[in-house]
Amino acid sequence: MTLGLALSSLAMGLLMAIAFSLAELSRFKPLALTTSTIVAVLRGLPEILVIFFVYFGSTHAIFLLTGEFVEVSPFLAGTIALSLIYSAYASQTLRGAFMAIPRGQAEAASALGISKVRCFFRITLPQTWRHALPGLGNQWLVLLKDTALVALIGVHDLLLQAKMTAASTYEPFTWYGIAALIYLAITLISQNILERMKSRSNRHLTSSQSKMETPTESAVTSSEATA
C-alpha cells in the first residue's frame, strides 16, 4: 500500500509538475501569475493540512454540487494530496532545468523544420531530465516518507498497520522499529536506483569527455618521448 501510494503520487505529481513549470514559464502573464500563486500556497502549507483539505474538502464539494454525501476514498484523496505537494516542489526543479537549456537549440530545431512538439519531446525534455534528476530524486525520497501522513485519514499503509499491531500487542517500540527498518530499506534501494539512473543519463557526457582527453594524453606522451 505504501509503495502503491508513493508510485501513483509520483506519476501524477510529475505530470502536474511539468504542467506547472511550463505554465510559470509561459509568456501569458495571467497564467504564469496564477500558477505561481498556486505553487506558493502549496509550498507554504504544512503537508498534513493539504491532505486534510483534499480529503474533507472534496467530500464537502461533492455535497455542495450534488446534495449527496459521498465519501471520497482515502487512498484517492491521499494520492491527489501527495501529488499536489510533490508537484509544487518538483515544478521549481523542472523550471530551473528548463531554463538551463539554451534557447538556441529550439531556434536551430525550428530552422531545421522540426516542430515545437517534437523539439520539446526529443530535444528539450531529455536534457531537462538530466538536469532535474538529482533534485527530483531527493523529492521522491521526501514523498516516500510523507506517505506516512495519510495514515491520519485512514489509509492502511505501513505506519497505520504498525500502529494497529502495536496497540494490540502492547509492543510499540518493536513494531514502530520494524516500520522504520522497512522505510529505511526502501529508501536505500531507491537511492541505489537513482544513482544508476544518474549514471545512465550522464553516460554520453562521460564518453565525450574521455574522447576529448585522449588526444591530450597522446600529445603529452609524444612530448615526453621527444624530450
**Which of helix, strand or coil describes residue 37?**
helix
**Spatial distance between the Cα atoms of 3 and 184, rounded to a whole number of angstroms:** 13
80 within 8 A of 88, measured Cβ to Cβ? no
**For residue 217, pLDDT beyond 60:** no
% residues pLDDT > 90 (the chain): 49
Per-residue pLDDT tens digits for 160-204: 899 999 999 999 999 999 999 999 999 999 999 999 988 887 776
Domain spanning 2-220 has what CATH number?
A: 1.10.3720.10
Per-residue pLDDT tens digits for 129-156: 888 998 999 999 999 999 999 988 888 8
**Spatial distance between the Cα atoms of 158 and 179, rounded to a whole number of angstroms:** 7
The beta-strand segments (E) located in the chain are none
The domain spans of the chain are: 2-220
